[in-house]
């Protein structure tokens, strides 16, 4: 059995974890750190890094606050699930390659409505007829989105425009300069399931844009100017095929210390707090659980602004949905695919769910750590993470370094200094408290 005095192998590299819904990618990294910092597996890495920092004359605070160095290779929306690439130690320098590799996604597009973010957590900006949409019509439209296409990122994305994030400008109501289209490649795109209206649980958001922002929002998401008038079947609608969606940031994110601010996401979905609030809009009608408030307010025909009086008219059928599976290159936007597919079938569409099944060589159900394993203890997740990191190190030709006994002594010395510092701090605080208490008694005696 290995003792703490014997040299221990330092493991670092790349592994993948199955991100659950509602958590941001940064949340996942912070939760991983809470499990990795006190673990046996990463104790050698921490000891070696503390010794290195001490040798470099780093501050005591930096040494004592050191955590396992983690980063991720592409952000997923809070409400999305699937493969999240995680880099550990030296592995964080290899994350960029996972931004440039192909990814496989599975999404659900819900027809008949469009939102400002092109997904189910945004605000409804317009509705359109969907009774004419069939599986065959959607299959035919998908052909236009295969191969190399020019695309324009959506307004709600993490791309920088004039030095600021696009989604920040969009929320502030700032007039957005036009984002240039760029080429991406759709290697595979197929429909894996067709769901007729009333045969699924996907729903439109209930929250709608206000009358003042309506026109601008419709123009931003590429529907049309409401002043052009409504036309049956979406005719007269200006198509903007240029936007696709990937839900992946263009730069690798590296987490060196916990961050308290909301995490920007490239997909344009809102940060967790706002997204969860907006997701409440997907709740069913308490009177009729099979009918949502949004579905009650469908227009009879044409593209109708969300706040128009026409939305009070009911449609007899519920909107259909399609499950799509695709393999795409970097920079692809799934949300915009759903939006543009709705336009391609003379209606509207939004993304209701998203799963990243594969990124590079990591695939769900094959070599991806399940998030639930973290709560089962290091004896469960430890061998899986260690094995994945060792496999990556072997593939990269890295030789595992040793954390020596000297590193442990330096670590223990640093911990001892930290304990002494805390003890002195607490003693000074107690002395100050006693002095203040004594002063108050003296003031009362003087008053008497």
Active-site residues, by number, are 77
Other Cβ atoms within 10 Å of 291 Cβ, number = 15
Q: How far is CA 14 from CA 36, 86, 309, in A?
A: 14, 6, 54
358, containing H or E segment: strand 349-359
Show the tokens assigned to 131.
């009774």
Task: Please tell me what DSSP assigns to residue 48.
Answer: H
Q: Contact at 8 Å (CB) between 352 and 135?
A: no
Closest CA to 334 of 79, 135, 22, 162: 79
Query: 169 near 176, Cβ under 8 Å?
Result: yes
> Rounded distance, CA 362 to CA 285, Å?
40
Coil/strand/helix, residue 368: coil
Residue 346, phi-psi category: left (phi > 0), alpha (psi -120 to 50), beta (remainder)? left
Rounded to 10°, the helix 135-142/334-344 angle is 120
Compute the distance between CA of residue 352 and CA of residue 204 in angstroms, rounded to an integer.
Answer: 8
Region at 416 (left for phi over 0; alpha for psi -120 to 50; beta for the rest)? alpha
């Amino acid at each position: 059995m290995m003792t703490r005095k014997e040299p221990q192998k330092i493991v670092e590299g790349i592994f993948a974890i199955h991100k659950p819904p509602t958590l941001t990618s940064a949340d996942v990294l912070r939760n991983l750190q809470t499990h990795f910092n006190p673990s046996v597996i990463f104790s050698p890495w921490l000891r070696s890094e503390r010794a290195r920092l001490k040798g470099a004359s780093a501050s005591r605070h930096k040494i004592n606050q050191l955590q396992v160095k983690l980063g991720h290779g592409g952000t997923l929306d809070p409400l999305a699930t699937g493969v999240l690439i995680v880099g550990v130690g030296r592995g964080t320098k290899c994350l960029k390659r996972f931004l440039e590799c192909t990814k496989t996604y599975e999404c659900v597009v819900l027809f008949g409505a469009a939102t400002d973010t092109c997904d189910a957590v945004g605000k409804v900006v317009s509705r359109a007829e969907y009774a004419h949409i069939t599986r065959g019509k959607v299959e035919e439209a998908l052909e236009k989105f295969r191969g190399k296409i020019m695309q324009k990122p959506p307004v709600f994305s993490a791309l920088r425009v004039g030095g600021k994030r696009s989604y920040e400008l969009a929320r502030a109501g700032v007039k957005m300069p036009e984002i240039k289209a760029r080429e991406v490649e759709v290697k595979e795109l197929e429909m894996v399931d067709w769901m007729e209206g009333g045969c699924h649980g996907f729903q439109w958001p209930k929250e709608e844009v206000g009358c003042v922002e309506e026109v601008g929002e419709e123009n931003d998401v590429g529907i049309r100017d409401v002043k052009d008038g409504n036309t049956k079947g979406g005719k007269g609608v200006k198509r903007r095929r240029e936007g696709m969606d990937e839900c992946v940031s263009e730069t690798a994110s590296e987490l060196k210390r916990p961050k308290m601010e909301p995490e920007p996401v490239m997909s344009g979905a809102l940060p967790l707090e706002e997204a969860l609030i907006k997701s409440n809009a997907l709740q069913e009608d308490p009177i009729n659980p099979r009918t949502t408030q949004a579905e009650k307010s469908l227009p009879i025909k044409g593209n109708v602004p969300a706040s128009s009086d026409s939305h009070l008219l009911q449609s007899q059928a519920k909107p259909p949905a399609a499950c799509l599976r695709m393999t795409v290159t970097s920079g692809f936007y799934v949300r915009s695919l759903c939006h543009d597919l709705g336009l391609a079938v003379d209606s509207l569409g939004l993304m209701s769910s998203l799963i990243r099944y594969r990124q590079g060589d990591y695939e769900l159900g094959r070599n991806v750590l399940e998030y639930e394993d973290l709560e089962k203890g290091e004896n469960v997740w430890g061998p899986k993470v260690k094995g994945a990191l060792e496999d990556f190190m072997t593939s990269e030709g890295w030789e595992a370094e040793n954390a020596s006994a000297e590193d442990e002594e330096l670590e223990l010395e640093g911990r001892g200094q930290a304990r002494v510092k805390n003890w002195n701090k607490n003693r000074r605080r107690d002395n100050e408290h006693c002095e203040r208490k004594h002063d108050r008694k003296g003031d009362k005696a003087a008053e008497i």
